[in-house]
Amino acid sequence: MLLLHDHQYYGLDPSGELSKYATREDATADMLSAVQEPARRIEVLRRRVKWTEELEKSLEEARRALEVNDGH
């Protein structure tokens, strides 16, 4: 997440001195990974909490939103 903060502050940096992101695609890949991580963690929690239909619906809505933004 700190690398994304550097990108937000400095922008793209082909030299790699101020930000690790040389291209927009590099930054986008990390942003998508950061956004998808909560869904992965929720899958682990599913086994530990009382899972309801409402929680399932919310998780599915989040997954659909991520798929649209991921270009699928």
Domain ranges, ordered by start, for the chain: 2-69
Q: Structure pTM?
A: 0.55
pLDDT band at 72 (very low <50, low <70, confident <90, very high): very low
Kindly tell me if the per-residue pLDDT of 71 is higher than 80: no
**What proportion of the chain, given as a percentage, has pLDDT over 70?**
82
Q: Residue 44 corresponds to which tokens in the numbers above?
A: 């682990």
Q: How far apart are the first and last CA of the chain?
A: 24
Residue pair 13/1 in contact (Cβ under 8 Å)? The answer is: no
The mean pLDDT of 41-53, rounded to a whole number, is: 88
28 touches 3 (CB < 8 A): no
% residues pLDDT > 90 (the chain)? 8
How many CA atoms within 13 Å lie on the side-chain side of 34?
11
